[in-house]
Amino acid sequence: MSSRPLIAPWRLRLRFGFRNGRLTAAWGLSILLAWFGLALFAPWIAPYDPIAQNTDISLLGPHLAHPFGTDNYGRDILSRVIWGARIDLQLAIIGVIFPFMIGTFIGAVSGYIGGRFDSLCMRVIDVVLAFPFLVLMLAIMAILGPGLKSFYIAMALVGWVSYARLIRSQILVLKESDFALAAKSLGFGHGRILFRHLLPNALFGSIVFSMSDAVLVLLNGAAVSYLGLGVQPPTAEWGTMVAEGQAFITTAWWICTFPGLAIVTLAMGFSLLADGVAQVLGERS
């Protein structure tokens, strides 16, 4: 008796969440592009020089000339927020790229080779993961000294772990797949199989993950700067600006509020993009 399951069309519409992943991703992308634009054209968009001090106009609340107010040095907060976008965007992106590349490489090789090397890598990953992320980063930066460069190095040393685990689990599955066996039977070398055949298929999950990881990296970078170990003054960066504004919270709330809002909106951009892409990929599978 032959039968074909009725793919009841109504079943396909039982989704949880925002009905359209594409819409969510579009929102996220627009926010990111807006910030990117602001950062890129900062010299032309920002009304004032971000590090120009003018004590005559210090601690002024938001008004027409200075929509975000001024800080205790008389610097325009709006300009500092716009210029700060350059640093924070850079932070989020570079802070993801290095761990992504290192982690993907190590995870792929480890998963493919297997055996003792793989066990060793897993142990190392377990140990690194045992440390609270920020704690380990702070400890590393304590040795390297403050600054963006130290931040990137510390991120690379600590952040590769999640990507390694992700890629490794994908490679473990893929290396037993039919097309991998086919490639092997055609006589392709291991390197070629791993990097030209397996890896491209395994990368999907990592790419989606990297978008939500960008949020964490951004927040971490801002936190490290807030603590005083990241970007050093007088460079405008949102985390340091919040720290600077903390002392004046009772008298000049705008100094720490607006940079924080900037962080939130940029983070949301990455979040929405990640959510949207994940939903769209989920729908396709």
Partner 1 sequence: MNLARYRFVLSRPPQLLPVLFGISLITFVLVRSIPGDPARALLGSRSTPDALLKIRAQYGLDQPLWLQYFYFLKNLLKGDLGQSLLYKVDALKLIVTRIEPTLVLVLGSVLLALLIALPLATLAARNQGRWADNLIRVFTTVGLGMPAFWLGLMLILLLSVQWGLFPVSGYGRTWLDKAHHMVLPCLTIALALSAVLVRNLRASMLMELQADHVTAARARGLSEAAVFRRHVLPNSLVPAVNLLAVNIGWLISGTVVIESLFAIPGIGQLLVRGIFTRDYMVVQGVAMVLACATVVVNFLADVATVALDPRVNMR
Partner 2 sequence: MSLLQVRDLSVIANNAGRDVTLVDRVSFDLAEGEILGLVGESGSGKTMACRGLMRLLPSPGLRVQGAAVRLAGQDLLQLDEAGMRAVRGGQLGMIFQNPSSHLDPLMRIGEQIAEGIRLHQGASKKDARLAAIDVLRQVGIPDPQARVDNYPHEFSGGMRQRAMIAVALGCKPKVLIADEPTTALDVTVQAQILRLLLALRDRHGLSIIMITHDLGVVAQTCDSIAVMYAGRLCEHGNKYDVLAHPQHPYTAGLIDCQPAHSSGHALLRTIAGQPPLLDALPAGCRFNPRCPQVGALCTERLPEGVRVACHYPLGARP
Total Cβ atoms within 10 A of residue 64: 5
- Judged by beta carbon distances under 5 to 8 A according to partner kind, the member of partner 2, partner 1, none in contact with residue 263 is partner 1
Total number of residues shown for the chain? 285
Give the residue carrying structure tokens 């380990």.
136
- If one asks whether residue 16 binds partner 2 (CB under 8 A), the answer comes out as no
User: How many CB atoms are located within 10 Å of the residue 171 CB?
Assistant: 25
Q: Which of 34, 57, 93, 124 binds partner 1 (CB under 8 A)?
A: 124
> Shortest CA distance to 17 belongs to which of 8, 29, 25, 6?
25
Select from 136, 203, 280, 281 the one that contacts partner 1 (CB under 8 A). 136
Q: Which of 143, 178, 187, 284 binds partner 1 (CB under 8 A)?
A: 143
Residue type, position 20, single letter: N
The answer to whether 116 contacts partner 2 (rule: CB under 8 A) is no
Q: How would DSSP label each residue in 231-245?
A: SPTTS--HHHHHHHH
Q: Is 66 helix (H, G, I), strand (E, B) or coil?
A: coil
Q: How far is the CB of 172 from partner 1 (least distance, A)?
A: 20
Q: Which amino acid is at 55?
A: T
Q: Which residues of the shown chain bind partner 1 in the complex (CB under 8 A)? A: 16-18, 123-124, 126-136, 138-143, 215, 219-220, 222-223, 226-229, 239, 242-243, 245-246, 249-250, 253, 256-257, 259-260, 263-264, 266-268, 270-272, 275
Which residues of this chain interact with partner 2, rule CB under 8 A? 1-6, 8-11, 13-14
